[in-house]
Structure 1
């Protein structure tokens, strides 16, 4: 069940920027979480693209990537172990990644309801393109197809000090071949698809981003009163917080 949006819309900020390196975006999230947790910043939705990269969440197991991260690195892909839920996934150009930075208790009773709300955002985002997204109860994310399902959007979140970070990724028009190197999200025989593959033609990113932000506001009851689209403004106002150190800390922790 999807919680109803707040009766009074919360005011929030959208950061809709183009391509940002994974470490910088990770550090940006940490900075935004700190500001939101201390009531020094608004609820924020970050929408962006990444250069090609694999990330491994807390549920990742070595068999999900062939027991050797070096194989992925040697194939030209950086690999980051991060603090979100879920296993391994791929991010790359042509995929919209969303990082909601929200005070969770203001919007829903807990993480499970939050994931359902994110799924609802993604399902509604796809609808104007005639793509019917659906849920599978045992796996977070959004799937398409009347027969064997294919995953079109992944979800992996972290709640830190009552504030959400990490989020979701929607495959729009992207090279899906890197997913063949791993077991996506730790799901055996998981087929991955994109909006372009479903429709048979490329899909422009900007209309999908706009639709996604609009629907996110509807589902969560947020009125977007500020839009930031310039990466220089983003860096000046929200300098990234220790991304390299965070990478090393979590990598070391995962080896214990």
Structure 2
């Protein structure tokens, strides 16, 4: 059976974003990209399309690391708010993006052949009692790690309203993360030369992962990029994304090789917002900016959800007395 910690936390997870999988679509964090025509704007830094008819995307940057259940619950509640408004015939056009760090957490996605839920996942066996939770979710991809020192992005966007195919959405995420790393002076590639989705340094180092889920063409989950070295020892305990010959690396480690300092997670988050705006041709404004017009009610509902999640995260951090910075590994 799973550890008591994992079982207790798993009960709080919203079923809509957890395995077993439904008919909703997922995209892999480690599989190859779909074949087809090149998506507009992915081969250069041009804007793929302008969505001036859509309201600005609201974004929120969390200052306190979120336990993974709260992060999932937040996405689920925002999506349900949109779907319920649609059912009532009300306006539901408010896209949002959350940027955050998680508390130490391992997750796996729908591409992983999940075993009997009453037994330990093979990768979970490797990380028992190291100080991190373990969850099976509906995103694409296999096992990965989230924790302090890593920027996680959860864009909740209506791809139908944007006129964006799923494949192109994944490619746009990949492209903007790669360009951010390149502008820092890093020599990276996205995707991997073997076709694996993500941002890589050479053949054997991975900087960023992507794994998404769609509910009625509304995105959830998203991306994760290692900013500081802190996540790397946690990654070393598992076969991340099913790539046995690939090791996690951080922006700070790559820049250190060139004798340069790396950005903080907060600096990375702030720099990614305008990149999303230019990549998707949308205006991005803070969630707490004044709300007017037909999306005002929806914005206020999202603010209330974020306030609830923030309070829970602050309470969890206080009760835990902080989060481990390194995995608790028994000495042989």
TM-score range, shorter chain: 0.7 to 0.9
Output the aligned Cα RMSD. 2.5
Question: Secondary structure of the equivalent of 1:170?
Answer: strand
- The whole-number CA distance in structure 2 between the counterparts of 1:192 and 1:67 is 20
2:111 counterpart of 1:59 = yes
> Which residue of 1 is the match for residue 184 of structure 2?
129
- The whole-number CA distance in structure 1 between the counterparts of 2:156 and 2:113 is 27
5+ long unaligned stretches in structure 1: 241-256
Q: Give yes or no for contact 1:14–1:227 (8 Å, CA) kept in 2.
A: yes
1:70, CA displacement in angstroms? 4.0
- The whole-number CA distance in structure 1 between the counterparts of 2:121 and 2:77 is 34
TM-score by length of structure 2 reads 0.64
Which of 167, 189, 193 does residue 245 from structure 2 map onto? 189
Q: Give yes or no for contact 2:123–2:238 (8 Å, CA) kept in 1.
A: no
TM-score by length of structure 1 reads 0.82
Greater Rg over alpha carbons, structure: 2
Aligned positions of 1:177-256 closer than 5 A: 177-200=233-256, 201-228=261-288, 236-238=304-306, 239=308
Structure with a larger share of its residues in strand = 1
Residues 183 and 108 of structure 1: CA distance in aligned 2, closer, same or farther (over 3 Å): farther
1:174, CA displacement in angstroms? 3.3
Runs of 4+ residues deviating >6 angstroms: none
1:207, CA displacement in angstroms? 2.1
Q: Give yes or no for contact 1:94–1:171 (8 Å, CA) kept in 2.
A: yes
Q: Which structure exhibits the higher relative contact order, with contacts defined as CA atoms closer than 8 Å and separated by 6 or more residues?
A: 1
1:9, CA displacement in angstroms? 6.5
Residues 150 and 203 of structure 1: CA distance in aligned 2, closer, same or farther (over 3 Å): same
Question: Secondary structure of the equivalent of 1:73?
Answer: coil
More moved, 48-57 vs 72-81:
72-81
- The whole-number CA distance in structure 1 between the counterparts of 2:95 and 2:302 is 15
Count of aligned pairs between the two proteins: 234
1:215, CA displacement in angstroms? 0.2
> Which residue of 2 is the match for residue 32 of structure 1?
78
1:202, CA displacement in angstroms? 4.2
- The whole-number CA distance in structure 1 between the counterparts of 2:129 and 2:113 is 19
Which of 15, 19, 39 does residue 2 from structure 1 map onto? 39
